[in-house]
Structure 1
Amino acid sequence: MTEPATPSHGRVRNRENSTRTKARKRALDILFESDLRERPTTETLADRVGWAEPPVRPFTIDLVNGYLAHAEEIDALLAASLTPGWTLERMNRVDRNLARIALFELAHTDTPPQVAIKEAVDLAAELSTDESPAFVNAVLAQAAARLRRSVPASGADQAPETGADDAAADAGHTQDTPSADSGTDATDTAEDPTGDAAQE
């Protein structure tokens, strides 16, 4: 007996999710390279767009430019969401930049919180340390809670949806306080964690 065919709308949704995941991964690549080389992110983005190998997706450009437009706010929220004694500098580069992308989506787009968090956690599992998924999950859950508390009741229609706890459950990670070991910057010697090699 043959299995029923996947509904066409399901295939479209999966294709869209895959495309957006790849766009997030490319945005991470651009932010990571800029961070590692201590060069302006706008220059890295312009280089990648100019090379077009592969072409840079519009969503990647939106994510990078969105973070840059709100960098001070996002970094402040990220720093406030870390456990005492932690700093942005102590985070490894992959985790730090994944969190920046997710926080832009949480605060300034209509991406559901559970989606933004799960995407960041999944990419951390693929590209960062063994401790990174739980670490990124905990930080983003804390940041999402801070965002919800910071929106006045009159602006509830503009508030990010709740869902940080659901994202933690879906991702299969706890929101425990991360251990100090998870801050080890394993990316210092990596030229490119995403596999999209930076060109000199």
Structure 2
Amino acid sequence: MSRRQAREQTLQTLYQLEMNPEAGERVVAENQERLAKGDVEKEDIAFFLGLTQGVRQHIETLDPIIQKYLKQDWTLSRLSLVDRTVLRMAVYEVLFEQDIPVGASLNEAVDLAKTFSTEESARFINGVLGNLTKNLDDIQRSLSQS
């Protein structure tokens, strides 16, 4: 397994949780178990868990940041669930996973959108994340002050 596969599993897990919030930790545990039964390195499982839990724990921080960089007439609720989840994952990685290069996080987000959403969504996500990363220093500064 690779980090890409861990990201795909995270996307699927977060999607499941959005569709059925009551499932909570059961869904995470089931997906972790599914990964563990495969040919998976422990660090890939740890990455899956860290990314899944990180997005869940920081969603109230992530959503306003994402909203700020959407087109003026767009809201998070207007985005497809896949696109919203991909954006949350990418922004979490960029802001909280310092060991992952920003470019890698953005490329992976665009690839996830191409695979699980549409080509148009991939371009949209690339644009949102591109604008966000241009202001990354300001975002990080405001997070450290809060």
Regarding TM over 0.5, the answer is yes
Q: Does 1:102 align with 2:90?
A: yes
User: What is the aligned length?
Assistant: 134
CA–CA separation in structure 1 for the residues paired with 2:21 and 2:52: 16
CA–CA separation in structure 2 for the residues paired with 1:121 and 1:30: 18
What is the CA-CA distance between 1:84 and the residue it aligns to? 0.7
Q: Does 1:53 align with 2:34?
A: yes
State the AA in 1 paired with 2:139.
S
2:2 to 19, 31, 38: 19
CA–CA separation in structure 2 for the residues paired with 1:54 and 1:149: 37
What is the CA-CA distance between 1:123 and the residue it aligns to? 1.1
Q: Which structure would you say has the larger Rg?
A: 1
Structure-1-length-normalised TM-score: 0.62
User: Are the equivalent residues in 2 in contact too, given 1:20–1:59 (CA < 8 A)?
Assistant: yes
User: Are the equivalent residues in 2 in contact too, given 1:30–1:41 (CA < 8 A)?
Assistant: no
1:71 to 36, 59, 65: 59
CA–CA separation in structure 2 for the residues paired with 1:54 and 1:151: 33
Where structure 1 has 5 or more consecutive residues not aligned to the other structure, the ranges are 1-17, 156-200
Structure 2 residue matching 1:97: 3-state secondary structure: helix
Structure 2 residue matching 1:85: 3-state secondary structure: coil
Q: Does 1:35 align with 2:23?
A: no
> CA 1:23 to 1:37, structure 2 compared with 1: closer, same or farther past 3 Å?
same
- Quick check: which one's helix share is greater? 2
**Residue equivalent to 1:137:** 126
Structure-2-length-normalised TM-score: 0.82
User: Are the equivalent residues in 2 in contact too, given 1:31–1:41 (CA < 8 A)?
Assistant: no
**Residue equivalent to 2:138:** 149
CA–CA separation in structure 2 for the residues paired with 1:139 and 1:90: 14
What is the CA-CA distance between 1:61 and the residue it aligns to? 0.3
CA–CA separation in structure 2 for the residues paired with 1:81 and 1:131: 17
- 66-75 vs 142-151, which deviates more? 142-151
- What are the superposed Cα offsets for residues 161-198 of structure 1, whole Å, 9 maximum, x if unpaired? xxxxxxxxxxxxxxxxxxxxxxxxxxxxxxxxxxxxxx
CA–CA separation in structure 2 for the residues paired with 1:92 and 1:58: 27
> CA 1:34 to 1:151, structure 2 compared with 1: closer, same or farther past 3 Å?
closer
TM-align CA RMSD: 1.9
What is the CA-CA distance between 1:122 and the residue it aligns to? 0.8
- What are the superposed Cα offsets for residues 25-64 of structure 1, whole Å, 9 maximum, x if unpaired? 1000000111123435434213323xx1232811110001
Where structure 2 has 5 or more consecutive residues not aligned to the other structure, the ranges are 37-43
